[in-house]
Structure 1
Amino acid sequence: MGTAPILGRPAGASGEQTRQRVIAATMRCVAEVGYSRATIREIARAANMTSGSLYHYFPNKAELVKAAFLELAETMVPRLGAAAACAGTVPDKFMAVLTEAERVIADYPYASAFDRAIRVESPAHLQLPEHSDAVFSSLRTIVLDIVERAQREGALGPGVEVRVAADAVYALFQGLYEQAATTTREAHHATMEAAKMLLCGTLFDY
């Protein structure tokens, strides 16, 4: 069996398509071996291109990893927010956010493990852990907005505070995201479906 040819920009591909291929390879390499052990050479190999070709897009590993993170951050929260905005009822909004979250994870299968890796050992000057916290803060705002609507509609349980309810749902969402780094897609999908049932009150039948 012959090996695949090493590419720069494949025939018919745009510069943006090649850049996306590099971004995906970066997330995969950092997720698998960590920031310090991921090399430009290995990332280029995963992207099926030469190191020299990769340098046409990014000057160094730090900028490459930062670009991969920003790609994820600038995609995930707007997609989740748009999903919530398009849904009708409070339960529908939570279902829409979970469904879109699963789609994001399908589009970026190494996102959760990548995020975990850069939190552990990315250079301090990149401030990626702080940026990651900001992304999660934005996700919490989406959750809080939905819970506040539930309060306005009288749908919160007696004595349940808005922020406490939001913290509980947010913790569930964060846990689901982190689980994606350690399980199969099939198992994660099953967990997401169970989470939807939990939020709708149908997971248990007393």
Structure 2
Amino acid sequence: MDSAELDRQREAVPDGTPSLGRPVGSKGEDTRRRILAATMQRVAEMGYARATIREIARAADMTSGSLYHYFPNKAEIVKATYLEVGAAAMPRLEAAAAQADGLIDKLVAVIDQGARIVQEYPYAVAFDRAVRAPGTDHAVAKISDGIFASLRDIVEDVIAQAHRNGELNPDATTAGAANAVFAIMRGLYDDAALATAYDFRDTVRALQLLLQGRLITAPSPPE
């Protein structure tokens, strides 16, 4: 699922509006964005089952009846929340990879942009983990799988280009390299769910130094 597909799915959700964080042009769009933000927060804090329509409406400062004018049920709200974040995030990650030169710089740029997105949507990781917990709506959780598949596509494209350019070590296959990089990014995602904002930034910076070969320095020779 690429960013264009995310856009198409987002537009198919009732009352589709611009991505979270963009300027809004009407009261209805503003209300819808508020609902999606409240959904992300409540699901992240309470879990999927306990984050009822009533709780989401309360967080969005509206009545449950008013919320139903925008979405028919909780599953559709959660789906719309995923698609909004995915449609906002994936083009930024794609652009980060496209604008950098060379394998290392591309990977560093994608990781840096991903960290910025996590900081801008502080409830996103916990929201995703709550939706993917056992017992939740499988169809909704598949949206998350599609977003991760889009990220993997970006990684595979970067690795494939590096292979064509002769940047990839011949001892590594393109599939193996893509698996390794994607595993690092998934690990960073898991860290974001547990770490403080400061610790997460620290981890991201250390990972970037590792990729650049600058994390470990040779000890100074004895005098």
TM range (shorter): 0.7 to 0.9
Say whether the 8 Å CA contact 2:75–2:140 is kept in structure 1: no
1:148 aligns with: 160
Say whether the 8 Å CA contact 1:34–1:118 is kept in structure 2: yes
TM-score relative to the length of structure 1: 0.86
1:69 aligns with: 82
**Distance in 2, Cα, partners of 1:59 & 1:158:** 53
- More displaced 10-residue stretch of structure 1: 113-122 or 153-162: 153-162
Matched, 1:170 2:194: no
Q: What SS is found at the alignment partner of 1:180?
A: helix
Return closer, same or farther for 1:150/1:95 CA change in 2, 3 Å cut-off: same
Say whether the 8 Å CA contact 1:35–1:117 is kept in structure 2: yes
State the AA in 1 paired with 2:171.
Answer: G
What are the superposed Cα offsets for residues 34-65 of structure 1, whole Å, 9 maximum, x if unpaired?
11111112112222222233222212212111
Identity of aligned residues (%): 52
**Distance in 1, Cα, partners of 2:204 & 2:172:** 24
2:63 aligns with: 50
User: Could you say what the CA RMSD is over the residues aligned between the two structures, in angstroms?
Assistant: 1.8
2:195 aligns with: 183
TM-score relative to the length of structure 2: 0.80
Q: What SS is found at the alignment partner of 2:193?
A: coil
1:15 aligns with: 28
What's the CA shift for 1:158? 4.0
1:122 aligns with: 136
Say whether the 8 Å CA contact 1:83–1:93 is kept in structure 2: yes
**Distance in 2, Cα, partners of 1:164 & 1:136:** 18
Q: What SS is found at the alignment partner of 1:135?
A: helix
Matched, 1:110 2:150: no
Alignment length (residue pairs)? 193
